[in-house]
Amino acid sequence: MYNFNYHRPTTLAEAKQLLAENDEAKFIAGGMTLLPTMKMRLASPSDLIDLSQIEVLSGIRDTGNAIEIGAMTRHAEVAASDLVRAGIPVLAELAGQIGDAQVRHRGTLGGSIANSDPAADYPAAILSLDAVITTDQREIAADDFFLGMFETALAVDEVIISVTFPKCARAAYAKFPNPASRYAVVGVMLADTAVGLRVAVTGAGPCAYRETDIESALQASCTVDAISEIAVDSAELNSDMHASADYRAHLVVVMARRAVLQLASVEPRVSA
Ligand SMILES: Cc1cc2nc3c(=O)[nH]c(=O)nc-3n(C[C@H](O)[C@H](O)[C@H](O)COP(=O)(O)OP(=O)(O)OC[C@H]3O[C@@H](n4cnc5c(N)ncnc54)[C@H](O)[C@@H]3O)c2cc1C
C-alpha cells in the first residue's frame, strides 16, 4: 500500500470541506471495495475521508410507510434489524445473503450502491421497492440512480445520507450466487408495491435494471406459467469467466420463476 492521508471527520460539513480541499480525495465507508482497488493500484487517492464517525449517516428508522436506512449501516445490521425484518423482511434476507460474515460486518449500504457493482444485491431491492436515495444535495428516485457499470447519478462531491425503502405488500428475492464471492451471477427481486408489481434484475447487465417484459407478464398474471415462455435478449448482458451472456439471460427467467414461487408463499402485509 502506498502513502495516503487519513481523515476521520465527525460532521458532514467537515467531510465535504476535506473533499473540497483535496483534489484526489475519496470517501471511504467500510473499504470493502475501495481498499482492494487501491491495493491493485486501480485507484490512488491522496486522502481517505472516513465516513464512519458521522452520526447522520447511521441508523435504521421506521417512518410508518417506509424503512429509512443510513448510508453507513452495515449489511449485518440490516440483516439483524427487527425493524427491517418486521417492515420489509425480504430486505433483511437479501442483506444476510451478501458475501461472507466479514464483508457483511464492514460493507455498507451507501458504499454498495455508490459503487454500482453490476453483481451487487442491494440495487435489485432499490429498484424493485422503488426506493429513494437521499444525498446531501437532493433526493434521487430509484429509476434514475444506476446509470451503468460502476456508474451512478451521484456527482463527485455528493454524499449518500440514507435510502428510504417503502414498505410493500410482499416481495421475494431469488439469487444465483457466485459460489466463491457470493456476488449475484443473477438475482431477481419482485415486489408488490403501491405502484404495482416491480421486477428488478441484478448481476445480468452492466447495472441493475427493471425487467419490463417479465414485469408486464406478472402484472397480468403473477404465476410461473405467465413467464415461462419469455426469452430474455442477451445482447446487452454481461459475459465473463463466471457466465456467458446467454447463460445469464436464461438465469434471469429461472430466478424470476423462483421468486414468483417464493412470493406466493409470502403472507401479504396489511398496509400501515
Ligand atoms: C469478498 C467480497 C464479497 C462480496 N460479496 C458481495 C455480495 O455477495 N453481494 C453484494 O451486494 N456485495 C458484495 N460485496 C460488496 C460489499 O458488500 C460492499 O458493499 C462493497 O464492497 C462496498 O464496500 P463498502 O461499503 O465498504 O464501501 P467502500 O469500499 O468504502 O466504498 C466504495 C465506494 O463508494 C463510495 N462511498 C462510500 N460511501 C459513500 C457515501 N455514503 N456516499 C457517497 N459515496 C460513498 C466510496 O468513495 C467508494 O468510491 C462483496 C465484497 C467483497 C470484498
Spell out the per-residue pLDDT of the chain, length 272, in tens. 678 999 999 999 999 999 999 989 999 999 999 999 999 999 999 999 999 999 999 999 999 999 999 999 999 999 999 999 999 999 999 999 999 999 999 999 999 999 999 999 999 999 999 999 999 999 999 999 999 999 999 999 999 999 999 999 999 999 999 999 999 999 999 999 998 999 999 999 999 999 999 999 999 999 999 998 999 999 999 999 999 999 999 999 999 999 999 999 988 876 64
49 and 147 inside one domain = no
**CA-closest residue to ligand 1 atom 31:** 111
Q: Does residue 70's CB lie within 6 angstroms of at least one atom of ligand 1?
A: no
171 and 37 inside one domain = no
45 and 90 inside one domain = no
Under a CB-based contact definition with an 8 Å cutoff, are residues 94 and 124 in contact?
yes
Q: Does residue 160's CB lie within 6 angstroms of at least one atom of ligand 1?
A: yes
**272 domain residue, yes or no:** no
Which mutation among 52, 115, 159 tests ligand 1's pocket best, with the greatest number of atoms within 8 A of CB? 115
The CATH number of residue 28's host domain is 3.30.43.10
Q: What is the pLDDT of residue 4?
A: 94
Q: How many domains does the chain have?
A: 2
**109 domain residue, yes or no:** yes
Ligand 1, residue 183: give the atom nearest the CA: 8
48 and 69 inside one domain = no
**217 domain residue, yes or no:** yes
32 and 136 inside one domain = no
Grid cell listed for 206: 452492466
110 and 214 inside one domain = yes
Q: Which domain holds residue 47?
A: 5-55
**270 domain residue, yes or no:** no
Q: What is the pLDDT of residue 8?
A: 98
**pTM above the 0.75 mark?**
yes
Under a CB-based contact definition with an 8 Å cutoff, are residues 98 and 75 in contact?
yes
Give the Cβ contact number of residue 225 at 10 Å. Answer: 10
Element (H, E) at 34: helix 34-39
Grid cell listed for 169: 405488500
49 and 83 inside one domain = no
**269 domain residue, yes or no:** no
42 and 142 inside one domain = no
Q: Does residue 89's CB lie within 6 angstroms of at least one atom of ligand 1?
A: no
233 and 132 inside one domain = yes
Tell me which residue of 204, 175, 177, 206 sits closest to 190, measured CA to CA: 175
Tell me which residue of 235, 37, 16 sits closest to 150, measured CA to CA: 37
Q: Does residue 112's CB lie within 6 angstroms of at least one atom of ligand 1?
A: yes
**129 domain residue, yes or no:** yes
The CATH number of residue 66's host domain is 3.30.465.10
36 and 62 inside one domain = no
**186 domain residue, yes or no:** yes
Q: Does residue 115's CB lie within 6 angstroms of at least one atom of ligand 1?
A: yes
Q: Does residue 99's CB lie within 6 angstroms of at least one atom of ligand 1?
A: yes
126 and 242 inside one domain = yes
Grid cell listed for 255: 430466478
Q: Does residue 51's CB lie within 6 angstroms of at least one atom of ligand 1?
A: yes
Q: Does residue 34's CB lie within 6 angstroms of at least one atom of ligand 1?
A: yes
Q: What is the 127 CA–ligand 1 centroid distance (Å)?
A: 18
Q: What is the pLDDT of residue 272?
A: 45
Ligand 1, residue 36: give the atom nearest the CA: 53
Element (H, E) at 18: helix 12-21
130 and 40 inside one domain = no
**124 domain residue, yes or no:** yes
Direct distance between the N- and C-terminal alpha carbons of the chain, in angstroms, rounded to an integer: 51
Q: What is the pLDDT of residue 271?
A: 60
Q: Please name every residue paired with 196 in a beta bridge, in sequence order, or none if there are none.
A: 193
